[in-house]
Amino acid sequence: MKTMMLRPTPITLAVVALLQGVAFAQPAANTTSADTPAPVTLFETAGQQGIGPRPFTSFLQRLSTPVDKIMIKVAGDNLAADGLSGTDVTVQLLDGKGVKVTEEVEVTVEVDGGARLLMPGRKTTEDGTSRGDIDRIQPGVQALVKGGELQFKLVAPYRPDAVNLRVSVKGVYDKVVVRYVPELRDMIAVGLIEGRVRSDKFDPRQIVPVRENDGFDEQLRGFTKDFNGGKTNFGARAAMYLKGKVKGDYLLTLSYDSDKYTRRTLFQDVDPNAFYPVYGDSSTRGVDAQSSGKLYVRVDDKLSYLMYGDYTTTDANPARQLSQYSRSMPGLRGHYEEGNVTANGFFARESMRQVIDEFPARGVSGPYSVSNPNGIAGSEKIEIVVRDRNQTAIVLKATALTRNADYEFEPFNGQILFKSAVPSFDDQLNPVTIRVTYEVEQGGEKYTVAGGDVALKITPNLIVGVAAARDSNPAAPYEVAGANVLLKLSKNTEVIAEVARTSSVVNTNANGFNVNNSANFAGQTGEVSGSAARVEIRHSDETLRARGYAVRTTEGFNNSSSGITGGRTEIGVSGAYQVNSQLSVNAEHLRTEDRIGGTQSEATSVGADLRLSERLTLGAGARHVSQNALSLASVIGNTCSNGTTASSNGYNSGYGISQQGNQQIDPATGQLVVCSPTSLSTTTAPAGLDRTSLYGRGTYRVTDTVTLNGEIQRELGDGSTTLYRVGADWQVAEKTRLYARYEQSRTFGGAYGLGVGSAEGTFALGVDTQYMQDGTLYSEYRLRDAENGKQVQSAIGLRNGWRLAEGLRMTTNVERLVSSAGNANAAGVGLEYTASELWKSSGRFEWREDANNTNYLVTLGLARKLDRNWTALARDYASIVKPRTATGTDSSQNRFQVGFAYRPVDNNKFDALGLYERKRDDNLSAGINSTTDIVSLRGNYHPTRAWWLSGRFASKRVDELLLGSVQDGYRASLVGGRVTYDITNRWSLGGIVSVLQGSGGAKQYAYGVEVGYILVDNLYLTMGYNWRGFRDDDLTGSDYTNRGWVLGVRYKFDEDLFKKNDASANRTLNTTVAPAKP
């Protein structure tokens, strides 16, 4: 969503019939910030998702379609995740009487979780020329339904997951969850065991090699033993991957590599931006066994599993919120689901701690930094958070993003770069923030982190659960425990009750391991503990939607995963009743208290809406609001002027996201924690609010795509005035709308837009594109026979675009923020083209200016299929910061890359990869001024079965500033090659050469020869001799040559190793059995 603001002041809420979300409510990812459905329960289905604040115009979408209800029937559940099987899906479109509609209706079908759709008339799920999609402009797949029924196939994902299938017709939708379980497939295994003995003239560890493994004696790191003063070395390695059913009913997945480089990376995946920008390979690549250690093992039994590897601890139980515990870590995790019992448990021995950063969005894509530069790669969870503009402690929506699809990391400092601009405010003028949760390495001794939960279904309508987690970190110990109950009183009514307690230590450690900057813990040190409780009842049927809730937390309650902070009380009752097809009535009462911050708020509303015609709907009602001065939010922005420290680098300076860095959001208040060195301007309202008002509103649908709406609110009592808003929505397409808003509202806003202070105007203009989160759009990025769509999108793709035409998407963002400390403006435009099967491209330009700096961001990308065998990709990234103060200095970063891949489709005789990269980083205030050029080429030639040749060339040139004043440079070139010749079926001969030449002519070199012999099938014996050395004509006496031999043995195996009793694999059992087919 993209928003232009001329002045952010309160906006009158369009609908009072529906409840304003409390702090722990997490709306669905595919809704707007004002469209807050219930959690993932029975209320997630059609006609029952509307409990929450919504724009008034959204109800009118239902008026333009004969469809009143959508029913989805999937032929099965707990399906095998084999990536191939298709399951029949039937969609029925029903009218208000439950009868299938007879006229033609266009529907949109969306799916996530790696599943795919095979629509009628479509040959494959990946065929870009015959997709079975009648409207390729819109996200998802559009189909024309005749006779009220549509049938298609849902193709299974490759990984077990809960897949969301969503079918929508304008304002009506239905969503079902299809569970995929591991496929009980036949065993597949691949692995090797190898050992190597090496002897050198002297200790090779004292020599800097041309590169790692520059001879035939590739060093084995998993197990090594030195002899003879380091001159003789023995190394061994074992590696294997295994997957298949064991004991008949279990699926075993195992991966082990004793030589694996276990750097701190969680959920390690194939990085499409690593090494070469393009590989010319259209296959889909992924990682099945994600583990930051050398071992990964998982055993599945239907819906239950036990695993050792990387995992997250989040519990999917919708009744568990206050005691939720969300971490990413490696270790042991188990899940049990059988009959009436569902249980989870985890155990880890680690030295990691969790960091949560939340900071304001700035209307641009980035780059954005985090507060700790030592974050563990892969552990991050990035969310776009929308907070209530009038109660910023309340989260209306939190949308989780996906790495490479929604964001990436810029190539210089690893800062976050989103695929589209993140607006400062949404279309309802609610503030937007970015929340990053990640793990950092604390160091020191490892400690235990453990927890678990159990949910017991006592009856079909009653589920009771308990949960607990303990972090034994000596610097920041933490415990959380809780219990919950979910009771379904009827098909449409449910009750949730939950209690929780936490214990933590804050602000005692000098190294900052347990520092808590929240206002809730200001001045506190040592152990704090607190409790929380909530109860909630929901009802939703065709005529009545109602919800009541109460939440209370004590001052010491501390759980960042619960969505609510300590010292708060939230009480609310809301309902909407449809009297008939034209008239509906609504009412609500909300009460909020923050005992630590001293804020109090009560709001009451009653009203009615009358549908006068197919196009016109009118509404009216009364409201009363009582709030103290502290609870009234100032919507006058503050850009955090940095006073005298004008040499900062802009909104992404330091490791924070502000002009000063570390401008964090306090979850207890939703406001900034600190803006050092200057303080935030005073934003407290001059007086409290106790006001009653009458309102009237109306919506008129001019055409099927254009809607006008407005509201007028008359305050009663002394100092009263008239507030109003007008707006227009243009439904450009099914999921894309252009909106405009103008409102007259108070400076210090409370509930319903009432407030204190002067009344001034605000204008907002923007484009909102909705699509199902994590939907499968990758087929649009695929280059025929050249590159998989996911990698191309990761390299050049943009997200959240406005579809202009088939394959042409535009991203736009414009906003202006008026602040007491200075104004901030942001604008940007981007274009993305994906219609051609031979080339894809994208580009964007973004600009932001505040009181201290002007920032520019430019990204360009082009992928081209030159012919059947050649693929090329070029991309450029540039970030420029220009200060607007006398003491500031310019800074810029630019990375240009161009790469090619030659991979013949018809044969594998020759293939090649190439890369040229230029990086420039200029920031004189930080003592940085460097330019780097890199060229890299690799090729393989296989003219006949007996010959294998490979070669590589690389060159690097660096010019950089050292010690802030010394300009220095470095040049290096590397040439290497390897040749292998199979003399016979058992004997082979090989040679290797590698030469590295640096500045001044100094050379490091390595040569080697190797003889190999196959003793028996899959057992390979090698004998080699290597020369390594260094020569520099300018350094007398520094030359050396190191010689040595190496003896190695390697055994590779597959699943046949485990079939010793199978005559087709073990021919010694029966000599008459025909040989196994290859």
Residue indicated by tokens 């496929």: 183
Q: How far is the C-alpha of 400 from the C-alpha of 26, rounded, in Å? A: 10
Return the ∠ at Cα 707 (arms to 704 and 708), rounded to 5°. 155
Mean pLDDT of 68-87: 86
Tell me how far apart the alpha carbons of residues 93 and 70 are, in angstroms, rounded to a whole number.
5
- Answer yes or no: is pLDDT of 896 > 90: yes
Q: Which comes out higher in pLDDT, residue 97 or 933?
A: 933
If one compares 937 and 797, the residue with the highest pLDDT of the two is: 937
Contact 398, 385 (CB under 8 A): yes
If you write DSSP's letter for every residue of 434-471 in order, what string do you get? EEEEEEEE--SS-EEEEEEEEEEEEETTEEEEEEEEEE
* Residue 1056: strand, helix, or coil: helix
Burial of residue 543, with CB atoms counted within 10 A of its CB: 0-12 exposed, 13-18 middle, 19 or more buried: exposed
The model's pTM = 0.78
Q: What are phi and psi of 339, to 5 degrees?
A: 65, -120
Residues 6 or more apart whose CB falls under 8 angstroms from that of 1018 comprise 1051, 1052, 1053
Residue 213 has pLDDT above 50, yes or no: no
> Which of the residue ranges 275-289, 410-424, 654-668, 899-913 would you say has the lowest mean pLDDT?
654-668
pLDDT top residue among 510 and 6 = 510
**Higher pLDDT, residue 19 or 197:** 197
Q: Measure the CA–CA gap between 1002 and 898, rounded to whole angstroms.
A: 30
Of the candidate ranges 170-184, 574-588, 890-904, 1038-1052, the one whose mean pLDDT is the lowest: 1038-1052
> How high is the pLDDT of residue 789?
46
- DSSP reduced 3-state for 394: coil
Count Cβ neighbours within 10 Å for each residue of 285-312 and write b for 16 or more, e otherwise: eeeebbbbebebbbbbbeebbbbbbbbe
Token couple for 54: 């919504």
pLDDT per residue as tens digits for the range 1045-1069: 888 899 998 887 766 566 665 555 5
Distance CA 149, CA 153 (A): 14
Tokens of 238: 């074992």
Check residues 405 and 150 and name the one with the higher pLDDT. 150
Cis peptide before 677 (omega within 30 of 0): yes
pLDDT at 683 over 50: yes
Helices (H) and strands (E) in the chain, counts: 1, 57
| Mean pLDDT to the nearest integer, 708-721 | 89
CA-nearest of 779, 896, 649, 789 to 155 is 779
Of 710, 841, 669, 778, which is closest to residue 11 (Cα–Cα)? 710
Name the residue with higher pLDDT: 53 or 831.
831
CA–CA gap between residue 134 and residue 120 (Å, rounded): 11
CA 846/CA 417 separation, integer angstroms: 12
Q: How far is CA 716 from CA 297, 590, 754, 942, in A?
A: 68, 20, 11, 87
- Phi, then psi, of 317 in degrees rounded to 5: -65, 115
The pLDDT value recorded for residue 821 is 52
Rounded distance between C-alpha atoms, residue 102 and residue 679, angstroms: 64
CB 919 within 8 A of CB 906: no
460 near 385, Cβ under 8 Å? no
* pLDDT tens per residue across span 222-279: 667 776 766 788 888 899 998 888 887 888 999 998 888 766 677 776 666 677 777 7
Q: What residue ranges in 523-660 does DSSP mark as E strands?
A: 526-540, 544-553, 568-578, 583-594, 599-611, 616-627, 633-634
Nearest partner of 330 among 314, 316, 349, judged by Cα = 349
Band of residue 774 on the pLDDT scale cut at 50, 70, 90: very low
- Give how far the C-alpha of residue 253 lies from the chain's centroid of Cα atoms, to the nearest Å: 26
Burial of 807 (C-beta count, 10 Å sphere; 0-12/13-18/19+):
middle
Most confidently modeled range among 433-437, 507-511, 831-835, 1029-1033: 433-437
d(CA 56, CA 35): 10
Residue 1026 has pLDDT above 60, yes or no: yes
CA distance readout (Å), 1035 to 116, 994, 1040: 64, 21, 11
Tell me which range, 175-184, 583-592, 827-836, 1054-1063, is most confidently predicted by mean pLDDT: 583-592
User: What separation in angstroms does the CA of 619 have from each of 60, 537, 616, 624?
Assistant: 13, 27, 10, 17
CA distance linking residue 936 with residue 396, whole number of Å? 49
Q: What are phi and psi of 969, to 5 degrees?
A: -145, 165
E strand intervals along 85-201: 86-94, 105-111, 116-118, 141-145, 149-155, 161-169, 172-181, 188-200
Q: If pLDDT is split at 50, 70 and 90, which confidence band does 1033 have?
A: low
DSSP character at residue 504: E
Give the integer Cα–Cα distance in Å for 707 and 696.
17
Per the CB < 8 A criterion, the answer to whether 819 and 637 are in contact is: yes
Residue among 154, 152, 156 nearest 84 (CA): 156
> What mean pLDDT is reported for the chain?
76
* 644 vs 551, residue with greater confidence: 551
Overall size of the chain counted in residues: 1078
pLDDT-derived band at 897 (thresholds 50, 70, 90) equals: very high
Specify burial of residue 53 (Cβ count, 10 A radius: 0-12, 13-18, 19+): buried
Backbone phi and psi for residue 447, each to the nearest 5 degrees, phi listed first:
-135, 170
Closest to 956 (Cα-Cα) out of 211, 208, 204, 413: 211
% of the chain with per-residue pLDDT over 90 = 24
At position 5, the amino acid (one-letter code) is: M
Instruction: Note every long-range contact of 991-997, with CB atoms under 8 Å and residues 24 or more positions apart, other chains counting.
Output: 992/215, 992/216, 994/210, 994/211, 994/214, 995/210, 996/210, 996/211, 996/972, 997/972, 997/973
List, in order, residues 6 or more apart from 448 with CB less than 8 Å away: 347, 348, 349, 470, 472
Q: Tokens 């009628």 correspond to what residue?
A: 120
> Please, which pLDDT band fits residue 280 given cuts at 50, 70 and 90?
confident
Q: What is the predicted pLDDT for the residue at 639?
A: 38
Question: Mean of the pLDDT values across residues 354-367?
Answer: 85
The radius of gyration of the chain from alpha carbons, rounded to an integer in Å, stands at 32
Task: Average the pLDDT over 204-219 and give the result.
Answer: 47
pLDDT by residue (tens digit) across 602-623? 999 999 999 898 889 999 999 9
CA distance 1073 to 1068: 9
Residue 585 has pLDDT above 80, yes or no: yes
Q: 218 pLDDT band (50/70/90 cuts)? A: low
Domain architecture of the chain: domains with CATH: 24-181 (2.60.40.10)
How far apart are alpha carbons 1025 and 236 in whole angstroms? 19
Q: Kindly state the DSSP code that residue 689 receives in the 8-state scheme.
A: E
Residue listed under structure tokens 């050792």:
308
**Which among 250, 237, 418, 478 has a CA at the least distance from the CA of 1050?**
237
User: What three-state secondary structure class fits 426?
Assistant: coil
- Residue 229 CB-density burial (10 A; 0-12 exposed, 13-18 middle, 19+ buried): exposed
Q: From residue 571, give the alpha-carbon distance in Å to each of 21, 298, 603, 606, 716.
A: 11, 44, 11, 17, 26
More confident: 128 or 125: 125
List strand residue ranges (DSSP E) for 377-424, in order.
381-387, 395-400, 407-409, 416-418
